[in-house]
Homo-oligomer: A and B are copies of this chain.
C-alpha cells in the first residue's frame, strides 16, 4: 500500500483542525519543533501535530498506526539527548502536546494536582504556591519545559535530595497507548497495591511506550522559611562528611546540596565579573546548601547555623557564608545557574551527567583528573552538580588554545574515559538527562545483554509496531 501523505495530512486536519497541523511544505517554520535547542539533533517531520484533548491524541495515534507513521511525542523540547525531535529514518510526525495544558483538578486537601501533559512546570509551581502548596521539581528549563516531558525523562534538578526525582512525585497517569487505547491510571492515592504499577513503565521511557496526556502529582506543604549557605571545603571526602552532618541534624529540612568546583567558580567569575566575593579564602570545592521549613525562620536559621558550626569544628568546612536576606540567597542560586551559562559562553565543552554511589565519588574524581590530564594535556574539567544525589555534571572544556569545534571531535574519546570509570564503579552514564539519540548506542556497551533484552521485550509488548519514538533509547 503506497502512502499518500497529502491524504493522510488531510485526515489529520479533519481530526484536530487546519491550524494545528503544521507542515514544512506550507513554508511554516518548524525549526522549533524539529531541532533541539542546542542545535545538535534535527530530523525531517511530515508534520507537527498539536492536539488539544486526549481524544484528539487517540485519533491521531490511530491514524498514525493505520499508515505506519511514527510519532515523536514532544513537550517543551528542552531535553539534552535529542529524544523529542525526529530522526532521519522513516516517516515521522512530531506530536506536540503544548495545547493540552488544562488543570483537571487541584485537590489541596489531598495534596494532589492533576494537569495535562502540556502544562508548563513553572506554571505548576505557581499554581501550587497560590494554594499554599509546593510542587518541588525545579530545574533550569522550568519556564518552558512541560510536565509531559518531565515525566518522559524522569526529570531531576535541584531538590531531588529532599523530594526525589519526577518519578517519586507521580501518583497517577493517563496514557494513550500505541494502539490508540487510553490507559486511565489517574489515581490520586498514596498507596495502591492492586497489581503491577504500570505507570512506572511510562515514567522515564522517553515517549517510546505510550503518550502521557495527563498526570496526578504530589504536592507538599509550602515552606514558609528558607535559608541558604555557601561553604568551602578542601576535598570531596570532607564534602560528604558535611552532607552527613547536615542530614543527621536537619533531616529533610535540608533540601539541596550542590557542588561547585573551584575551576567552575573561576569560570563564572570570568564571564560574570560582578559575581561578589563570597568567602575569604579559595577552596578546592564549594557547597551550596539550602534548608526549608514551616514556621518562622528563626528555628531553621538556628539549626542551620548549629550544623554548619559543627562542621567548622570538625574541620570539614573551611569557611562559610550564610545568606541573611532574600537578595543574598538569590546571589548564591544565580551563581549556581551561571555555571551553566558560563560554560555556554566559554564554548566547546563535552558534557557528562554521571551518577555514582556517593561513597565512591571521591575516588572517581581523584582517578579522573589525572587520567584526563594525561590523555588531553591542558584540558579543563568543570565539575559541579547535585552532590547530595551523587550526580555530577562532569564537563570537560577544551584545553586553552584548542578550538571548540576541534575539541568536539574528541567527544567519543572523552566519553569513553569518563563513562568506563563510571560504570566500573557501578555508576550511571545518564543520571538525569536520559538517553534519547545521544546515548542510545553507548547503552549497548554499558548495559548487560539481559537488561537490554528485557527492555526490548517490554517495548515489543506495548508497541509491537514500533510506532512511538522509534530509535530513541532503544535501537529499534
Instruction: List chain A positions with a Cβ less than 8 A from chain B.
Output: 107-112, 132, 153-154, 156, 160, 164-165, 167-168, 177, 181-198, 200-201, 203-205, 209, 221-224, 240, 244, 247-253, 292-295, 299, 303, 306, 355-360, 386, 389-391, 426-435, 439, 443, 446-448, 450-451, 454-455, 457-458, 460-462, 473-474
A454–B202 alpha-carbon span in the complex (Å):
12
Q: What chain B residues lie within 8 Å of A185 (beta carbons)?
A: 451
Q: Which residues from chain B contact A167 at a C-beta distance below 8 Å?
A: 197
Q: CB distance A196 to B204 under 8 Å? A: yes
Q: A197-B204, A461-B457 are in contact. Are A192 and B294 (CB under 8 A)?
A: no
Query: In the complex the two chains form, is A193's CB within 8 Å of B153's CB?
Result: yes
Min CB distance A353 to B, Å, is 8
User: Bound complex: CA of A431 vs CA of B191, how far in Å?
Assistant: 5
Q: A296 → chain B, closest Cβ, in Å?
A: 10
Complex CA–CA separation, A164 to B195 (angstroms):
18
Q: In the complex, A306 Cα to B296 Cα: how many Å?
A: 12
Contact B198 A223, beta carbon cutoff 8 Å: no
* In the complex, chain B residues whose CB is within 8 Å of the CB of A250: 294
Specify which chain B residues have a CB less than 8 angstroms from the CB of A186 in the assembled complex: 426
Residues of B within 8 A of A448 (CB): 183-184
Contact across chains for A450 and B182 when beta carbons are under 8 A apart:
yes
Contact pick for A431, options B189, B253, B358, CB 8 Å: B189
Q: Which among B110, B192, B209, B355 is the interface contact of A191 at CB below 8 angstroms?
A: B355
Complex interface: chain B residues within 8 A of A455 (CB): 195-196, 198
CA distance A394 to B329 in the complex (A): 48
In-complex Cβ contact of A187 among B154, B223, B294, B426 (8 A): B426
- Closest Cβ of chain B to A474, distance in Å, is 7
- Residues in B with CB closer than 8 Å to A460 are 461
Using Cβ atoms and an 8 Å threshold, which residues of chain B touch A177? 450, 454
